[in-house]
Structure 1
C-alpha cells in the first residue's frame, strides 16, 4: 500500500451506535474483533481474512456473515476472478460504541468487551520486551468534566485510525476513562468546605 493511500481504502461512517443485542453479540467474539481490526487497514475478501488469521475459510466466512447480518460489516466492492465474483468486505464505521443506557444486561447476552482487559493481554509481550509505552493518572473531577475530556480524546483516536499503514509491526493504541469506586481521596481543604457547604469532612 502506498504511504499516502487513504485508510481504509473505502468510504465509511465515523461512528455507529450499537443498539441491538444482535450487534452486541456480534462484536463480542475475539475473532470477529480481530477481523474488524484488520478491516481498519483495507477492504478484504474472506480468503484474505482467513489467511491473515490462520483459520479455515469456512470458519471466517461464518464470522463475516454474523458481522454483516448485524450491520457491522458490508460489501464495499466486488471483483470477478474467472467465473467467481469475489466480495470485498469493509466496516460500516470506523468506531462502534454503546449508547448510554444500552449496554447488554441480559443473562443470555455475552458481557460487553472490556477493551482495557484486551489491551492488557495484548501488551504482555511488549512489556516483557521493554517496549510498552503507557501512563495512568488519576484526577478527582466532576462527571461532566470527565465527559468533556473524553470528547477531546476522540479526535486523537480517529487520527490513529487513519494513519497510513507501513512497516512490519502493528501497534495497539488504548485509551480509557473510568470511575474508581475505592480510590483514596484527600479530605476537603478549609477553602473548599467554605465555598461548598454540602462538603463534609471525610
Structure 2
C-alpha cells in the first residue's frame, strides 16, 4: 500500500492510540468531539481557536475538549500567557485511533451514518457524492476480516497531508441486516454463495 507523507502537526505524538476503556469510547460519541479531533490533525489549537472554527461557544468547546483530554485523546502541547491568563494549546495524542475494548473492535454510541447523511446533503444536491452500497451473505469471520481492511484504509485517509480548500468526509462501515431477503437453498452442490452486487449511488 502506498504511503503518503504526513504533514507534521507541530508536536510529538504517537502513531496510533488503542482505546481500551469504555470511557474512552464514549468520548468519541459526539459529533463536535470528532470534529475537534479532525481539526487538530493539522496543528495544535486553543479552545478559542476551536470555538472560532466550529462556530460554537467557548464554554461548550472547553467542555468537549476536557472530555477528550480526560480520555487521553488530547494533550496540552504548549501554553502562553494572555492578559495574566494561561492559554493552553491542545493537540492530538495520536495520529490515528483504534477502538479495541476487550480485544475486539467496538462501535461508539454515535451513529456515524446519521452524521454523514446530514453532512452529505449539499454534496448530493451538487452531484458530488461518491457512494456505494453492497450486500453480501458471508460468515461473521469474513465480515471481521473486511472490517480490518476497511480500518486500514481509513487510517490511510487520516494520514493524508492536509491541503486545498475543501474538506471531504469518508463514511464506511459493516453491519448485519436482520430479515434481509435470502433465496431458499437450491439443492445443488455446485453453487457458490454470492453477494448482491447492485450499485447504489456511485456518482458523479
Mean Cα displacement is larger for which, 33-42 or 136-145? 33-42
CA distance in 2, matches of 1:179, 1:5: 35
Residue matched to 2:68: 67
Judge conservation of contact 2:19–2:99 (CA < 8 Å) in 1. yes
SS where residue 136 of structure 2 aligns? Answer: coil
Judge conservation of contact 1:7–1:162 (CA < 8 Å) in 2. no
Question: How far off its partner does 1:170 sit?
Answer: 0.5
> Of 14, 17, 31, which residue of structure 2 is paired with 1:15?
17
CA distance in 2, matches of 1:9, 1:182: 50
Question: Normalised by the size of structure 2, how large is the TM-score?
Answer: 0.77
SS where residue 63 of structure 1 aligns? Answer: helix
CA distance in 2, matches of 1:51, 1:140: 46
Question: How far off its partner does 1:160 sit?
Answer: 0.5
Q: CA RMSD in A?
A: 3.0
Q: Does 1:164 align with 2:165?
A: no
Describe the shift of the 1:9–1:137 C-alpha distance in structure 2 as closer, same or farther (beyond 3 A): farther
Mean Cα displacement is larger for which, 79-88 or 123-132? 79-88
Describe the shift of the 1:9–1:156 C-alpha distance in structure 2 as closer, same or farther (beyond 3 A): farther
CA distance in 1, matches of 2:157, 2:176: 25
Q: Unmatched 5+ residue regions in structure 1? A: 105-110, 196-202
Q: Does 1:41 align with 2:42?
A: yes
Question: Normalised by the size of structure 1, how large is the TM-score?
Answer: 0.77
Cα-to-partner distance string for 1:135-173 (whole Å, 9 max, x where unaligned): 001111100011111111222111100111111111001
Describe the shift of the 1:192–1:175 C-alpha distance in structure 2 as closer, same or farther (beyond 3 A): farther
> Of 186, 189, 193, which residue of structure 1 is paired with 2:186?
189
Question: How far off its partner does 1:44 sit?
Answer: 1.2
